[in-house]
Amino acid sequence: MIGAHGFSNGLLFVPQRAEKELAECLKEIRSRDEMAQKDQVDGILNTIVTASREEVASDPATSHGADSSLSTPVADVTVPSEQGFELVACVSEADVMAQKAATEVNTKFSDRDRNNAMKAVIKKLTSRPLTRRIGRPRDVEESMKKLALIAPHMPELVQTLRIPLLVAASTGAPPMIPPILLVGGAGVGKSHAALMIAEILGVPSHTVSYAASGAVGSVLSGSDKNWGNSSTGAIFNALSDGEFANPVICLDEIDKASISTTVSGQERNPLNELLALLEPLTAKEHMDRCAEIRVDARHIVWVATANSLQGLSAPLLSRFKLILVNKPDARAAVTIALSVTQAVSTQMGVSVKPPSGEVLQLLATLTPRVMRRIWTLAAGWAAANKRERVTMNDIEHSLGHGSGLVSRLH
């Protein structure tokens, strides 16, 4: 049986101090849904395009012959690329050159292995341009239709992405997608939605699990270079190693982040470093603790998930676009199952028919993550046996289980 639509008691906990703020957020969400009609969106786009053009025309720095020496270390510049994506300066050239000089004379890194590791980082950075592409869909409306099929129970997520992507398509500027916090019970597809956003944008995704690692204070920003096991952070790695300036970083289950205690006895909340990262002005020159190189992290698409708001500070919540995610009803669950299986079959390159009957009923009760895993194996088994229809026997056989598998999937 598919559960009833909505949260059951106890799945969503709201601190008393945040009840009023949450009520206002819900009111804002409903209001935005009602206002987001096509003619109003077009009006917003026209206003932004006009303002953008006027600003460019009046800005002397955009005219020919502007003094390039006035640019910041992480240059705020966007240029067209051959692939049709914008290129933005993403890594501070000044910091790279300073660290290169430091490693050559070995003045900063006394440990030889550590110095050699930094030399490898610098060599990799200097072997390619310090600009990165901005990923975005070529057809915004088609991509939003795809997301609506995959996540029919998250209409507010679709709208939150749709407007900045339409604006970016009209202005040619990088999309300004706000940090998103998906709040809902387990198994409603929050983490899967983050992966789908990356797929729609055509960018890689990186997941930081707060439930698995507890205190991950150094995972995002790197650990101090003086530590024996120091390493660069996930943000620096994603921007320095990757091709895109706007990868999706999924902060999974941030409500499970644990506070650690330093050697000096001070408490350290791993969520505090997000306060600066989620603000464009400070994220623009994010410094990795290990590499001591600044990167422009303001284009990163942040998608956080949580089962509860309990323990999350007001300053942190104020930086997110809060979206409450209910469990999909029966109709939405079937739509998700059909969308996920079609996407998996296409990726695999197998010609199997969409699920139906008891197979579809089973898949509709599963989370998207489990659904993808099971369909990959079952569809592969059916295709290997030259059959177009996936049966319950395929599901049982492909997972190597005997009878009773269905009862153990939940």
Fold category of 16-36+134-258+269-324 in CATH: Rossmann fold (3.40.50)
Q: Which residue, 158, 291, 314, 310, is CA-closest to 235?
A: 291
How far apart, in Å, are the Cα atoms of 132 and each of 128, 200, 329, 376?
10, 18, 41, 33
Q: Which amino acid is at 319?
A: R
Joined tokens for residue 60: 């002397």
The reply to whether 330-408 shares the fold of 16-36+134-258+269-324 is no
> Band of the pLDDT at 55, cuts 50, 70, 90?
very low
- Tokens 């153990």, residue? 408
What is the predicted pLDDT for the residue at 117? Answer: 79
**Mean pLDDT, rounded, for 42-67:** 42
Q: Which residue, 53, 273, 277, 238, is CA-closest to 135?
A: 238
Whether the Cβ atoms of residue 307 and residue 255 lie closer than 8 Å to each other: yes
Across 229-243, 289-303, 307-321, 395-409, least confident range = 395-409
Residues in CB range of 266: below 8 A, 6 or more apart: none
pLDDT by residue (tens digit) across 282-340? 999 999 988 889 999 999 999 999 999 998 999 999 999 999 998 888 888 898 889 88
Q: Which residue, 325, 328, 332, 321, is CA-closest to 32?
A: 321
> Band of the pLDDT at 83, cuts 50, 70, 90?
very low
- Rounded Cα distance between 290 and 29, Å, is 40
How far apart, in Å, are the Cα atoms of 155 and each of 112, 185, 189, 324, 369?
54, 17, 13, 10, 20
Joined tokens for residue 90: 């993403």
Q: Which residue, 186, 313, 205, 295, is CA-closest to 251?
A: 205
Asked whether the predicted pLDDT for residue 260 surpasses 50, the reply is yes
**Residue spans per domain, the chain:** 16-36+134-258+269-324, 330-408
> Band of the pLDDT at 406, cuts 50, 70, 90?
low
Task: Assign domain 330-408 one CATH number from 1.20.1250.20, 3.20.20.140, 3.40.50.300, 1.10.8.60.
Answer: 1.10.8.60
How far apart, in Å, are the Cα atoms of 381 and each of 120, 337, 377?
44, 19, 6
pLDDT by residue (tens digit) across 17-51? 444 554 554 455 445 444 444 444 445 445 444 44
**Mean pLDDT, rounded, for 166-195:** 91
Q: Which residue, 282, 242, 84, 258, is CA-closest to 168?
A: 84
**Cα-based angle 9, 317, 307 (whole degrees, multiple of 5):** 30
DSSP secondary structure code for residue 179 in this structure: P
**Mean pLDDT, rounded, for 67-83:** 37
If one compares 95 and 225, the residue with the highest pLDDT of the two is 95
DSSP secondary structure code for residue 87 in this structure: E
- Tokens 């290169």, residue? 100
pLDDT by residue (tens digit) across 122-163? 888 889 999 999 999 989 999 999 899 888 999 999 999 999
% the chain with pLDDT above 70: 70
> Band of the pLDDT at 263, cuts 50, 70, 90?
low
- Rounded Cα distance between 1 and 308, Å, is 25
Rg of the chain over CA atoms, in angstroms? 24
- Rounded Cα distance between 44 and 286, Å, is 31
Give the number of other Cβ atoms within 10 Å of residue 139's Cβ.
10
Give the number of other Cβ atoms within 10 Å of residue 18's Cβ.
16
Asked whether the predicted pLDDT for residue 224 surpasses 80, the reply is no
What pTM does this model have? 0.71
